[in-house]
Amino acid sequence: MSVKKIKFLIMLFSIVLNVNIFCAKLNYTNKKTKVSDYDVKENIVKYQKSEYKKGQIYYAITDNTTGYDNWEKEVGGELPRTYLPKNWKKIGKHPLKDQAGEDHTTLVTKTFLETAGLDASQVINYGAENEWNMMEGIFSYSTSTSYYSPYMLTDNAWYFGNVINETLLNNYMPRLATTNTDDRNLLIIALPNAEKRKNGSNADVILNDATAKFPLYSDEVEKLFRSQRIMVDAANCFVPGKKDVTNPILLNESYRGKRISDFSSKCTMSQMNNEVGADALYARGNTIVALGNIYSRVDGSNKFGTSFATPRTAGYATLILNKFKGLTYHQVKEILLTTAYRERDRLDNQMGWGIVDIRKALNGPTNLNAGLIEENKFYTGMYDKIFNKKSNDIYFWAEPETDWVWSNDIDSGLSDKPSGTSSYIVSFDKNDNSKTKRLTIQNYLPSEENFYKETSKYVPGLRKAGKHKLTITGDLLYGGETQVLEGTLKLTGNIPDSTIVVYEGATLELCGNANKVVLAGGKIEACPSAKYTLVNEDREDIEVNKTKVIDIPKLFYFTQSDKIETKNFKNYDKYNKFLNQHYNHITGVWNLEKMPENEFFGTKNQVYAHDYSYKLTGKWDFTDTYEFYKYMTQK
């Protein structure tokens, strides 16, 4: 055989390898699709009437006031628009307070504008009073109230399991409360500031809602509760506190046109020696820390608080969302949390995921975290995108609307799983933080299993969809598959463990070294230096139903609307009787005495719901909460 003929056969063989005879592709379908064998069985799969399409993005900043004093001196120009929900009169009160002589709203808004690089015409002062008034977009909420109701921690509290009711409301989370399951909000909410100790208080921390409520609910409800919001604590780089968190991330933060390091060499958490802090505790799975300082031109001082760390974090989220157009709101959260700086690769009881690192976040993800990716299943159309029906792979769904470049190395999961417990003296009284109880906090909850490599039941991978190009220059260190479903994926780093699968109509540009490349109808364009093993495999089509979602049942008993005010129904005995018929009491979780009869209906735990129709089950088959209310009051 001649040399020319041999070269021809080699070239022909190469073409056959690179143009696969096996064809598998991404299909969007209106039919019901299979549920993953690896997802929890008690979940409820629903199919909504229509798919979610991202609408106009609003950037909303609020502290529940209209106190724009000193605006001209601090910012200048036009004021942000104030948005009031159409139904605020039905709610019974104006959702925003006019606080004369206050410039808190001004400084909160200024922090967001300086961070996001927007002007005042692009943001709104948002008068949302509850979950049903929320507009689509990024919502920065700089008013935070400590959670002082200990009744949920008593032996007389109920275990509600896999059912959502009023105890989870009033948290500004539309996904948790309403029938809308779309990923249409990222809620960024301030943790309370540390407060001065009173009457010789020995309290360590202030109680938060997640810590109080998680023992009442199933793991799945805890995951949903975390999914739509980021809680923000603050680092102070001008007044020293108890815990030193000085690091290059904070010292490089932009401040007054320079860097923090030009003004300060030390940063600490907000709590002083004479104060009670607001640690994350069970909110650690969605908490982050950001710089809480803002410079006031009016008096030349460096103001501080979680009120300013929160819009700073919202500004960072805005930068990520606008740089990587096509990310969902939840994916912005994933990138912010996983790129945060932390000394130990675990969720911290005080600082959650760690200190936000915007420079790293603007280079794309560093970690495909199965626990965060899993939360996408609660949002319309994401279920089939993240799950593999027959394996335990779980996928970050990347669908660029413009060409993206990610330059970070990308790993998977937290590596340092904690164990055991931590004990805290917790303040329970709003007016006197010397009234305390000792609580033992689990350093690891079952609902956090998928955050950690050691316990995760999923293996994270990446799915590239959409016509635009995604370039990743870092190493891919995760173990799940990298699936190129549409468009082009260019990889220039090393991929030691992930199998790359290229589907029909998609292209892999490979300039790094890969473990294995599977052509399932797609093609590969490899640089001469690339090393990889190329195989042909028959793969099944990937079917995605854009309306599929996991939705946990909601059973609300009261409403606050034009029909019913909470104050109209305070018959504890009847409500207690109903709950005792349907739920078991918690036994010995916290050992904090019995629940006082007036506590559930007290102002310390306002009950918010709405007169949407929620179908109840069994003999309690009412069309909505109003029907249930009438039944209970007439009985």
The whole-number mean pLDDT for each consecutive block of 10 residues of the chain, a chain of 635 residues, reads 48 43 89 88 86 90 81 92 64 52 86 95 77 80 68 62 74 80 94 91 87 83 94 95 94 95 94 88 96 95 95 98 98 98 96 98 98 97 94 96 98 97 84 84 94 97 98 98 98 98 98 96 96 93 96 66 39 59 59 44 27 29 38 46
Residue 389 placed within a domain: yes
Residue 10 placed within a domain: no
Q: What is the DSSP letter of 541?
A: P
Cα distance between residue 39 and residue 43, in whole Å:
8
Residue 598 confidence (pLDDT) = 38
Same domain, 320 and 438: yes
Domain finish residue from 520, 553, 586 = 553
Domain finish residue from 553, 577, 611 = 553
Same domain, 516 and 625: no
Same domain, 434 and 562: no
Same domain, 475 and 351: no
Identify each DSSP E strand in 148-204 by its residue range. Answer: 158-159, 185-190, 195-196
Same domain, 347 and 436: yes
State the residue range of the domain holding 137: 52-379+418-451
Same domain, 311 and 459: no
Residue 13 placed within a domain: no
Same domain, 96 and 117: yes
Residue 101 confidence (pLDDT) = 57
- Residues 6 or more apart from 589 whose CB is under 8 A from it? 153, 155, 157, 215
**Beta bridge pairs of residue 472:** 406, 491
pTM tops 0.85:
yes
Same domain, 47 and 191: no
Residue 139 placed within a domain: yes
Asked whether the beta carbons of 139 and 228 are under 8 A apart, the reply is: no
Name the residue among 558, 559, 600 with its Cα closest to residue 90: 559
Asked whether the beta carbons of 365 and 324 are under 8 A apart, the reply is: no
Residue 292 confidence (pLDDT) = 96
Name the residue among 315, 366, 369 with its Cα closest to residue 119: 315
Same domain, 522 and 600: no
Residue 85 confidence (pLDDT) = 61
Asked whether the beta carbons of 59 and 558 are under 8 A apart, the reply is: no
Angstrom distances, CA of residue 410 to CA of 182, 300, 465, 508: 28, 42, 18, 18
Backbone angles phi, psi at 586, to 5 degrees: -70, 140
Same domain, 581 and 627: yes
Q: Which DSSP string corresponds to 363-402?
A: T--SB--HHHHHGGGGSTT-HHHHB-TTSSEEEEEE--SS
Residue 65 confidence (pLDDT) = 76
SS (H, E, C) 105-164: HHHHHHHHHHHHCCCHHHEEEECCCCHHHCCCEEEEECCCCCCCCHHHHCCCCEECECCE
Angstrom distances, CA of residue 264 to CA of 42, 174, 342, 354, 488: 52, 40, 21, 20, 45
Same domain, 363 and 509: no
Same domain, 84 and 189: yes
Q: Which two tokens stand for residue 111?
A: 């922090």
